[in-house]
Amino acid sequence: MAKNQAGAQDGAPQATAAGNRKLIILICVGLLALLLSAGGLTYALLSSRDSGGAAPVVQEPARLPALYQPLEPAFTVNYAHGGRQRYMQVNVVLMGRDPQAMAAAAEHLPLIRNQLVMLFSSVDFDQLMTTEGKEALREQSTLAVQTLMEQELGKPTIESVLFTNLVLQ
């Protein structure tokens, strides 16, 4: 009987060692399966963007370089302010990105100049003394030119009106 108990005790460490090996092998196989599935999912997501797979990605059109059209000569506007005669001189440049649309806008430069002269002469001189007032005038100029181009060409054409020089006296 003592032999049977001794034999049973010797067999127990072998059984637990074999069980531990099986457990370690199962854990390793599970981790390997997890890593492979994560890698496969990553590859599938990245390759679907490039090849137009099941999830199409909307791409923005390539942005064209900016084109500039200076309005020469500079605009000069006079104001009656506080009993004195005041002047504003501003150099204006139109910025767009479509070469055909900019060429079409160039045909309407007299209309654009007229619109800007009317806008510049209607502004209060005190507003022009602040940076915010100058920026507001630039934004109003952009909106006025875009509206005019919308009427004439059917699209805004001009992205921005820029003041390259502004002198108040």
Per-residue pLDDT of the chain (169 residues; tens, 9 = 90+): 555 555 555 555 666 777 788 888 878 777 777 777 777 777 777 776 655 545 555 666 678 899 999 999 999 999 988 889 999 999 999 999 999 999 999 999 999 999 999 999 999 999 999 999 999 999 999 999 999 999 999 999 999 999 999 999 9
Angle between helices 109-122 and 131-153 (to 10 degrees): 150
53 shares a domain with 71:
no
**Which pTM does this prediction carry?**
0.62
Give the residue from 16, 33, 59 where a domain finishes: 59
50 shares a domain with 100:
no
Give the residue from 36, 59, 82 where a domain finishes: 59
What per-residue confidence (pLDDT) applies to 107? Answer: 94
What per-residue confidence (pLDDT) applies to 14? Answer: 63
158 shares a domain with 98:
yes
82 shares a domain with 21:
no
The torsion region of residue 88 among left (phi > 0), alpha (psi -120 to 50) and beta comes to beta
> What is the per-residue burial (b if ≥16 Cβ within 10 Å, else e) of 72-99?
eeebebebeeeeeeeebebbbebebeee
74 shares a domain with 52:
no
Tell me the residue range of the domain where 156 lies. 67-168
Q: How far apart are CA 147 and CA 154, in angstroms?
A: 9
What per-residue confidence (pLDDT) applies to 158? Answer: 94
Two structure tokens written together for 122: 């209607």
131 shares a domain with 90:
yes
Give the start-end residues of each E strand in the chain: 67-81, 84-96, 158-168
What per-residue confidence (pLDDT) applies to 60? Answer: 64
8 shares a domain with 73:
no
144 shares a domain with 84:
yes
157 shares a domain with 81:
yes
Number of domains in the chain: 2
Give the residue from 59, 78, 101 where a domain finishes: 59
What per-residue confidence (pLDDT) applies to 50? Answer: 54
86 shares a domain with 17:
no
Q: How far apart are CA 151 and CA 135, in angstroms?
A: 24
102 shares a domain with 26:
no
48 shares a domain with 7:
yes
